[in-house]
Amino acid sequence: MYRFIRRIKKRIRSRRSAFVDPEEIFLDAKNLPEFDTQQFEGQFERPIARRSLSALALVLVVVMIFFSGRLWKLQIAQGDMYKQRSENNSLDREPIFAPRGTIEDRNGTLLAWNVINEEIPWGQRAYISTPGFSHVVGYIGYPARDKSGNYYNKEISGKDGIERMYNTELGGVNGSEIVEKDIAGKKQGGTIVNQPVAGENIVLTIDARLQETMHRILARTTSESGYRSASAVMMDVTNGEVIVMTSVPEYNLNIMSSGDDVAKIREYLTSKSTPLLNRAISGLFTPGSIVKPYIALSALKEGVVTENTTICSCGSITIPNPYNPDMPAIFRDFRPDNGIVNVRRALALSSNIYFMQVTGGYQNQPGIGITKLEAVFKQFGLTEKTGIDLLGERSGIVPSPAWKAERFKGEVWRVGDTYNTSIGQYGVQVTPIEMARAVGALANEGTLVTPRLRKTENVGEVKKVEGFSAREYRAVQEGMRMAVTEQKGTGAALRLLPFAVAAKTGTAQVGVGAMSINAWLNAYFPYENPKYALVVVMDTGPQKSIGASQRVGREFLEWVSVYAPEYTK
């Protein structure tokens, strides 16, 4: 039977018969359970009709004719035009510059803002014209193009001060545009790909009124008194907000930003007066007697003196010279007639003899020694960066036996080195911002705040100086107040101010032959409820101008009492 069926199938195929294969007939007879009837499985398939195939072929022919015509037009009829256009034009991705955020002081006074300039796609940065703000605000560098008009620098970048520190926040995010240009660089059209995101506005803790006033007083006093440079800082001792930070000399913000005055910029870069240096955070100065309050605290804590211990500050002390007995070392006092002093009066009169003895010891008077002196300086942050939100800060230096051995080929430490360090000489160097922070810790009894220039709700890191009692702090505070109220006090120039101030002055001998001086004023106010620290340093001037820092402090605080009395309460 099987062979019979095969012969029939063969005969049917040879005759090209239209009969259906018997197996297909059997298959189509019913749908088996395994087939999916929804997909027509197990169903008989019929061939596509000839009419449908003809229609499809016609459509394909029409499409081919259309595209052949377009191709002929592009390649032959208009080929030369499109060839020239493709050779002359190019596509570029160009930045859409984000509007840079403004910088303003704590009262809303604009210090840096943008001026619309149709010829410059990124606009023009403008700065406050009043002197005194350069090192705080800083300046920017603009985008740049090559001779072909292509950008090789697509960013507006901060170069100094707040502009540099908060460049990311101020700068926002540039957008971009796909631009078609002809061979001459002329824009033919463009499509925006990404919209720019504007930069943030930055509010500073600086008070522009006080900043301008301090800089004016500093600049005039520096010129009249013969000092090389000067700097001043005023800081809130409760939260670290910097109210004033300025230096003399400084640079012109608009000149540095525009870059047009090449001669002036070259002068800034090469001048011996270093106007680009922010002396408040990067200038290291010999401090002189402004370090004495910290030594007083340590001496009281270590018990080498009590509040009532007295020492004769009577001109000088003499130390035998083991190498040449005929030439003893003589250490002289600041003034020869201080008389008998305790810790408060020693601070008020700035007795060198007192602090030399309580640090290095003398005869029957023990001293804390150089190790504990170094330790107390470190406790009050005089050897570390404060963490202020500016780049370029430097840390102070306190000499020690290891420091001397490293720098002077293994020389041993001597008691005379301790004496000189105790009065802020020898190798001691500090920055004004370090001193402002340390003065604040005296005023608030041991809290080291982090100075900051951006006004925010968050207070930065706070460190607690451990180991000193409220009574010890009080003795030092009273000594600093007596420096103002005592007739012979070194801060007596501040006595007639309409609010109470505590102060410590310092005079450091510097330069060749120690013929020049640094003059310091460290103060805090109001005395009864300390709120602000004020530090002024006049750098490298004649000895006859010893009172310059006090004159600056007095004139500034007098102005504050009249025009900004909210700071005196």
Residues 186 and 233 both lie in one domain:
no
Domain-terminating residue out of 166, 188, 203: 203
Residue 219 lies in a domain: yes
Report pLDDT for 533: 98
pLDDT-derived band of residue 7, with 50, 70 and 90 as boundaries?
A: low
Same domain, 170 and 244: no
Q: Residue 96 has what pLDDT?
A: 87
Q: Is residue 267 part of a domain?
A: yes
pLDDT band with cut points at 50, 70 and 90 for residue 220 = very high
Dump pLDDT digits (tens) for 285-299: 999 999 999 999 999
156 with 266, same domain? no
Contact 328/320 with Cβ under 8 angstroms?
yes
> Stretch 100-107: mean pLDDT, rounded?
98
The answer to whether 520 and 438 are in contact (CB under 8 A) is no
For residue 140, is it left (φ>0), alpha (ψ between -120 and 50) or beta? beta
Is beta strand 103-104 parallel, antiparallel or unpaired with respect to 202-203?
Answer: parallel
Residue 361 pLDDT more than 90?
A: yes
Going along 74-221, which residue ranges are E strands?
90-96, 103-104, 110-115, 124-127, 140-141, 144-145, 151-153, 157-158, 175-181, 187-194, 202-203
Q: Which helix (H) or strand (E) holds 75?
A: none
- Band (pLDDT 50/70/90 cuts) for residue 21 is low
Counting residues of the chain whose pLDDT is more than 90, the rounded percentage is 68
User: What is the model's pTM?
Assistant: 0.82
Q: Among residues 184, 203, 222, which one ends one of the domains?
A: 203
pLDDT exceeds 80 at position 95: yes
In a domain, 345, yes or no: yes
For residue 249, name the pLDDT band (cuts at 50, 70, 90).
very high
Last residue of a domain, one of 203, 233, 249: 203
In a domain, 43, yes or no: no
Counting the structural domains of the chain, the total is: 2
**Quick one: 126 and 213 in the same domain?**
no
Q: What angle do CA 432, 434, 440 make, to 5 degrees?
A: 100
Note down the domain range covering 481: 208-568
In a domain, 420, yes or no: yes
Task: Report whether pLDDT(319) > 90.
Answer: no
For residue 380, count other CB atoms closer than 10 A to its CB.
25
- Give a yes or no: residue 15 inside a domain: no
Residues 425, 501 share a domain: yes
Stronger pLDDT, 191 or 143, i.e. the higher one: 143
Judgement on whether residues 387 and 469 belong to the same structural domain of the protein: yes
| 319 and 183 within one domain | no
Q: Average of pLDDT values for 264-268? A: 95
Q: Are residues 166 and 220 in the same domain?
A: no
pLDDT recorded at residue 26:
46
Which secondary structure element, helix H or strand E, spans residue 507, and what is its range?
strand 502-510
The CATH number of residue 291's host domain is: 3.40.710.10
pLDDT digits 0-9 by tens, 374-428: 999 999 999 999 999 999 999 999 999 999 999 998 899 999 999 999 999 999 9
Stretch 58-82: mean pLDDT, rounded?
Answer: 69
CATH code (residue 187)? 3.90.1310.10
Please indicate, yes or no, if residue 73 is contained in any of the structural domains: no
Higher pLDDT, 39 or 564: 564
How sure is the predictor about 238, in pLDDT bands with cuts at 50, 70 and 90?
very high
Whether 333 and 393 share a structural domain: yes
- Does one domain contain both 191 and 213? no
Is residue 28 scored above 50 in pLDDT? no
The answer to whether residues 197 and 249 belong to one domain is no
**For residue 156, what are its two tokens?**
């507006």
**Partner residues linked to 190 by β-bridges:** 179
Chain-centre distance of CA 334, in angstroms? 39
Q: Is residue 346 part of a domain?
A: yes
User: 425 and 382 in one domain?
Assistant: yes
